[in-house]
Amino acid sequence: MKDTWPSLLIALLTGGLTVKFVDLLFTWIKTSRGEKKAAKALVDAHLDPLLKAADAIVGKTTSLAERDFLLLMPKDKLTPADSLNTDLIGLAYLYAKFWGRIEILTAESLGMSLASDKRGEKLQQFIACLGSQRVRLVNRTSQNAIGEITTEVTSAGGRRTIGVVEFEKKVGGDASARAWCEPLLQLLSKAHIKAVRQQLLVYGVVLHALVDTLDPEHQSTHPRPSYPNKLSKASKAEIQRLAFDEYLNKVGAVNKYT
């Protein structure tokens, strides 16, 4: 009888722990599945417009590269380009719209792990790469602000990106919006400088890889040629080392652009 009570006590404790473990495991599985489902739904809703915004920049960058950025060159070399001319506003809007899509995704994914979805995990790596110090076009604060300027709340309570005409009105008529957009406008107005052109080309390559990796069949985007002959040796090395070796080595991105 003395041996029976310890045995029964151990059995009860062990059984209780087992039940508790199974209960915790079931809860974890249920929560994990719920997170994955929520992340998938979010990516499903936002990936397509984000890819299209990225694709528009890739297309424009490819076109500019083929023409050596002549469209953005100052008409008079002695006079800086007007940062509010139509060509610069149109190009600035493409970047602003893409950053706006990132802002919307960030706002709507608060409290949720996008990494629960494989596409979301890859997207996060690309966004991190695009925001890194050696790749980004403007500082993160300016990028976030420009993204905010390019979005607005809809009547249904969601958010959307504004059109190019609305963007031009904001930048042209709102001193605060203009101030926030000035770093981007100033950068684009200096496309006659080789270093700036290379900066835009490198950013375009990472976006190109984003589009090709997350939309390999190009159901939402367009297959586009790369422009390796327009990249300097330093830019090619930077793309390989920083983008593909450091940030994108786990997302299946293939460097076919340099």
Domain boundaries, the chain: 46-247
Could you tell me which residue, 191 or 12, shows the higher pLDDT?
191
pLDDT, position 70: 86
Answer yes or no: is pLDDT of 24 > 60: no
Mean pLDDT along residues 162-179 = 92
Strands (E), 154-236: 159-161
- Quote the Cα angle for 193-199-204, to 5°: 130
Question: What's 158's DSSP letter?
Answer: -
Write out pLDDT tens, residues 201-240. 999 999 999 999 999 999 999 999 999 999 999 999 999 9
pLDDT, position 71: 81
Residue type at 9 in one-letter notation:
L
pLDDT, position 154: 80
From 235, 236, 205, 210, select the one nearest 221 (Cα to Cα): 210
C-alpha dist (Å) from residue 25 to 18, 63, 64, 117, 150: 10, 54, 55, 21, 44
Determine the 3-state secondary structure of 21 from DSSP. Answer: helix
Which single residue is written with the structure tokens 């809007």? Answer: 93
Dihedrals phi, psi of 152, to nearest 5 degrees? -150, 160
C-alpha dist (Å) from residue 98 to 4, 32, 94, 145: 71, 30, 6, 12
